[in-house]
Amino acid sequence: MSKQKNHPDKTSSLKIEFTVWVVLLLSMTTATLTWFIVGLEREALKREVTRRGIALAQYVAAHSLDPFLTDDKLTLATLVADIMKNEDMVYALLVDRNSRLVAADRSDLIGQAYQRPPGLYPLDRPSPRIHTWMHSQAGRVIDIGIPLILEGKTKIGEVHIGVSHSTIDQVVSSAWRNAAGLAGIFLLAGLLGSIVLVTLMLRPVSELSKGAQAIGQGNLNYQIPQMRRNELGQLAVTFNRMTRELQAATEQALEQERIKKELQVAHQIQHMLLPKQTPRIPGFSFGALYRAAKEVGGDYYDFFQLDRNHFSITVADVCGKGVPAAMLMSVARSMLKTVAFSDISPAGVIRELNQLLLNDLRGGLFITLFYAVVDIKQQTMTYTSAGHNPVMVWHPRGHKFQGLTLEPPCLPLGLDGSGIFDKLAKERKIALRQGDAIILYTDGVTEAVDPQGAVFGVDGLMNSIRTHAEQANAEGIIGGLDNDLNKFCGKFAQSDDIAVVAMKVE
């Protein structure tokens, strides 16, 4: 039997993805700027060529009136010949009122009828008329026409000179070549820069992942290298302090004392993971309830603002107990925050998070998670679930509950790396209306027991929400649920953490 291949290092995949996006952005920016700059250069050249052509046409018009009236063909031919000495001149023509050529750069055309280029109309204004057309031999030509007006009233003829467009085309072509070369250098520098940048950005996550894996395998001597003074750096300090404390407890205390220390440290980690306060977002209120059980698990909830119009809300539970579960949830929390700010799609977030966690889960640990993104402006919530309990939505208009589920249900995080998880990871969107109450919870709520062994259950949770749903805000709903749980459980110690988050649309 062939050995199962290890899952690829997801950090490398993030590097590739980030680099591809940077290169695409640089490519689009470079192409847009190049197109804009070359376009400006083309228009500037065209204006300059046209300005010189108009000046030449006006010169001919000013000096050809008298020879035109006296039929001085020699003077007219001289004017035409002088014009043709200028660079990029294709033709120079003098046309009488009967559309006959009286002077031209080619003598065989004199006396023939003037064939107007396609789209060029007779001149009926004293100002010059500019017209670009396709010459059979010279390619694109800028035709500049000026009428010959006698005493400002009577039109006696027209002057037409044709200026080649080839100079403009050559300069623009050269500019495109130069721009392409500079763009290639720019993209190469951007590619190398992005690789260096993403390596530096993702190094703390990689170090935390390695640290969690080493600690999860029992290597309490492992120390995460010192990081920058940010959230990940604080977490690294916590990891290192935790491992030192655990090692000291292992060496100095009895088995019971070691377990006690383990639980204390795990409780500290859990409380560090939880938000210090609920967010303040206009149109919404929030409430949260967390009770740590005697046997430490890995319950977790969080809120974070993604941008001006979106915020996320999540609740998760590690299937496992003790410090490994708490540490795993701390790593998952950091990874979730890293991934959530790069992808607004809930399904995309849990797919990425699942891949990141696969190499860090050992001993049958896995995570259930419900993750949702609320669009403040549109008043919608897009959610996904990785094997978590159905979230409850109370609709006051119909006095009924709606369970937020996915069909077929998705697997928990960390159980599958073969692609089944990615196929099952879906998302759904619901509209939020005033008065709606959304309740996220872990199974410690529904599995809470009283001294006689009766279970609080889903019915108990629904009855409590139904009773307190008309409270002014989510804190009132949570406060009522907390009282109901206290009455039900009494002083009986629970074996699992209890975590509940309420959000109410105001």
> Domains of the chain, with CATH numbers?
15-169 (3.30.450.20), 275-505 (3.60.40.10)
DSSP 358: G
What is the structure's pLDDT at 213?
73
Contacts of 59 (CB under 8 A, 6+ apart): 83
449: left (phi over 0), alpha (psi -120 to 50) or beta: beta
Q: What DSSP letter does each residue of 365-399 carry, written as one string?
A: -EEEEEEEEEETTTTEEEEEEEBPPPEEEEETTTT
Q: Which amino acid is at 287?
A: G
Beta bridge pairs of residue 129: 145
* pLDDT tens, N- to C-terminus, the chain (506 residues): 444 444 444 444 566 777 777 778 877 887 788 788 777 877 887 888 888 888 888 888 889 888 888 889 899 899 999 988 888 889 999 999 888 999 999 888 998 999 888 887 778 777 888 888 898 888 889 999 999 888 778 888 999 999 988 877 777 777 777 777 777 787 777 777 777 776 766 666 666 667 767 766 667 677 777 666 666 667 677 777 777 777 776 666 556 676 677 667 767 767 777 898 899 999 999 999 998 776 566 788 999 899 999 999 999 998 876 677 777 888 888 899 889 988 779 999 999 999 998 877 766 789 999 999 999 999 999 999 999 999 999 999 989 999 999 999 999 998 888 899 999 999 999 999 999 999 999 998 999 999 999 999 999 999 999 999 988 899 999 999 999 999 999 888 777 788 999 999 98
Radius of gyration of the chain (CA): 39
Helices (H) and strands (E) in the chain, counts: 11, 15
C-beta separation of 267 from 260 below 8 A? no
DSSP 6: P
What is the structure's pLDDT at 1?
46
Q: Which two tokens stand for residue 203?
A: 């190094």
